[in-house]
Structure 1
Amino acid sequence: MTRFTRLLASTALALSVAAPAMAADSELTVFDWSGFEIDGLFTDYVAKHGDVPTFAFFGDDDEAFQKVASGFKADAVHPCSQMVSKYRDAGLIEPWDTSKLTSLDQLDPKMLESPVFKDDQGLWYLPSYWGATAVAYNTKEVPAEDVATLQVFADPKYAGRISLPDSSDDVWALAYLATGVTDWTAITEEQFQAAAAWLRTVHPNVRAYWADPSEQTQLMMSGEVLIAWSWNDGVALLQAEGFPVGFQREAKEGASTFVCGWVNMKDGPGNEDKLYDFVNSWLRHDAAGALVEGLGYGHSNTVGMSEIPAETLVTAGLQPVSAPSLPQVPNDPSLRERQLQEFELIKQGF
């Protein structure tokens, strides 16, 4: 299968996660993003145990949290950083045993610069990868100058031809950037209202709020959508199909970045030794190439990333850029809940 058809298959499985979606090693259950079942990430685990773990899949962070908060049992979950405080506050996770982590000293220390991730109680979060949310566009139909600004999403010229993620965090990151904000840890009421008003202006232009990269990819390949607010993997999938796609991370107002990683679920049903074998396989330095090649994301292992050719990083959209950035770091949980509720209203046309 191509990366595109593989993601379509995993996305179909992700539509039903009441039970594990891809059964394999029954002694370890991993709740992960659809599309991340890339062989090169699990090489050491498979070599030792003969098979991959049992996987269940999700399409967005809030879906994953609601699932485990409602009783779905997994040994590890793969949320992005802004969700970690929610898992901690709900009492769902426990610290990692750092003595069992073989590549911890190779992980980018900047990805752990938060007391939400690491405090005197221990290490709560293992950063695994980072990416960008930026402007994907059809290079044959959309002039580069049009995507030099995020205001392209509000341009009547593209009414019905744009797509945004059905992800509150990413949509609000876009709205804050478009209204001049690059730090969402100290949002004022005026900034919130300006971003909400901008999203309401954009909403009539939206063809669809994509649920996962495979849906975004289909929308763009069909020609229905010309411009999307996209993660790296949506672009990687289009590139793999030979589609004329650009990834604009240097719009005047900037782009967003995010870090995701592993949390250790309290009272996980599986084998703890296998859990550590799994995360150690995922975080080893030679897994970086498989991740960049497969999904276009940057790995948290700095040794592994140092071995990736510069041209490969450019193709994946991981090169350094000169533009504003809004990092999706942990923010006020009450603000995040307010954003989520407001986004639901906006999607309904209110």
Structure 2
Amino acid sequence: MTKLILNRRRFLGTAAATGAALASPAYLRRASAQSGGEVNIWTYNNFVPEAFKEQFEAETGIKVNVRLVDDQGKQFNLLAAEQPNPTVDIMTVAGHRFLQFIDSELLAPLDTDRLTNWNKINPTFSESDWSTINGNKWGAPILSGMEVLSYNSEIVSEEEALTWDTLFSEKYKGQTAYIIQDMMSIVMLMKGYDGNMVAYLDDPDKAAEIVEEAKQFLIEKKPLVRKYYDGGAEFQQMMVNQDIVLGHSWNGPAAALINDGFPLGMAIPREGSYGFVYTYNIANNAPNADNAYTFLDAILSSPEIGAAMTKASGFISTYKDASNYLTDLEKKSTSFPDEQLANLQFFRAEANEMKYGLVDPAVEAIKAA
């Protein structure tokens, strides 16, 4: 096995350095008359570019407080516990989890009339079916991603990465990692089922059987995995340290490694996978709603900001023309061959209550097994 030598300090500093590329301060001029205060944001690592944050604070007087999250379920539980007086103004919710938050009255409908820069979002995302529920918009799409099989290309072959079976092979025993909850959907897909579980809305017994089958599969394969992980930064560090050579990941953290020069490959295996869209949402009863809208309008205002978010996170920007501000390598790390894209479908929300009611206990059972 080839021993990779990578400057870890340089890698870990990449995200911070990336944000420094934001150029003109003109995009925030409309917000410069604000009276200050604060806005509280729960989001993923690198979703608020540091250079944007500093400039926004300097020109509006609004202090941006970012609390990092790594799991939609944990965020839901925390927000539910705080209502009706949440401490957060803006959070990052994946589109396929909207219904869970909306049905629990945790989100406020988004007033797009207050966002002069709404038209800066590609309508493929801003006007899509999943983004409108009960006649309202519920979030501003900012980044799009997908579940991929990521691999150290000096050790794992491109052909091996074209099937999820490789992730569960004896060959790479103790050198793999994945997020259990996400893998539950993929395992269902591997076995020929609807991982969204929409097909089983009228047959909850069948849904329970499928989840049980996926659970037993992952328990059986548990001796092969090195670690179940939660966040993208942990996946990156395991790859850099060569603790793992193969893993399920989101494409964003994987792309960030590729752009830093790490020999990583990504594939959408032939059995299929799922895509998703991250959005910025305003909490119901947000304590600083006006500042939240000021922040949203500012961060949507420029394709350069969208590109900075892609550079830092590795996810695909939803902003019009953001790709014009990416290098050829950055564009490459956020694209896939057409034959692989044909294997991709998007997460859907219709069956989420049933799905996660079954999947969440299964995940805990796998951890405990």
Give me the TM-score of the superposition, normalised by structure 2.
Answer: 0.79
Alignment partner, residue 4 of structure 1 = 12
Aligned residue pairs total: 328
C-alpha separation in 1, matches of 2:259 and 2:325: 22
Indicate how the Cα distance of structure 1 residues 130 and 232 shifts in structure 2: closer, same or farther if over 3 A, else same: same
Alignment partner, residue 291 of structure 1 = 309
SS at match of 1:53: strand
CA contact 1:232–1:317 (8 Å) conserved in 2: no
Deviations 1:306-337 (A, max 9, x none): 66566532223467544311312213112222
Q: Which consecutive unaligned segments of at least 5 residues does structure 1 have?
A: 9-24
Instruction: State the 1:114 CA deviation.
Output: 3.8
Q: Which consecutive unaligned segments of at least 5 residues does structure 2 have?
A: 1-8, 17-35, 201-205
C-alpha separation in 2, matches of 1:79 and 1:325: 20
What is the RMSD computed on CA atoms of the aligned residues?
Answer: 2.7
Alignment partner, residue 299 of structure 2 = 282
Say if 2:266 is the partner of 1:258: no
1:14-33 → structure 2 map (5 Å cutoff): 26-33=37-44
1:129-278 → structure 2 map (5 Å cutoff): 129-166=143-180, 168=181, 170-181=182-193, 184=196, 185-187=198-200, 188-189=206-207, 191-249=210-268, 251-270=269-288, 272-278=289-295
Deviation larger for 46-55 or 257-266? 46-55
Instruction: State the 1:44 CA deviation.
Output: 6.7
Instruction: State the 1:118 CA deviation.
Output: 3.4
Structure possessing the higher radius of gyration over alpha carbons: 2
C-alpha separation in 1, matches of 2:195 and 2:229: 25
Instruction: State the 1:259 CA deviation.
Output: 0.7
C-alpha separation in 1, matches of 2:317 and 2:45: 17
CA contact 2:299–2:305 (8 Å) conserved in 1: yes
CA contact 1:183–1:327 (8 Å) conserved in 2: no
Indicate how the Cα distance of structure 1 residues 211 and 192 shifts in structure 2: closer, same or farther if over 3 A, else same: closer
Give me the TM-score of the superposition, normalised by structure 1.
Answer: 0.83
C-alpha separation in 2, matches of 1:104 and 1:215: 33
C-alpha separation in 2, matches of 1:203 and 1:26: 49
User: Which of 337, 345, 351 pairs up with 1:326?
Assistant: 345
SS at match of 1:229: strand
Alignment partner, residue 22 of structure 1 = none
Alignment partner, residue 134 of structure 2 = 119
Deviation larger for 174-183 or 254-263? 174-183
Alignment partner, residue 21 of structure 1 = none
Instruction: State the 1:80 CA deviation.
Output: 0.8
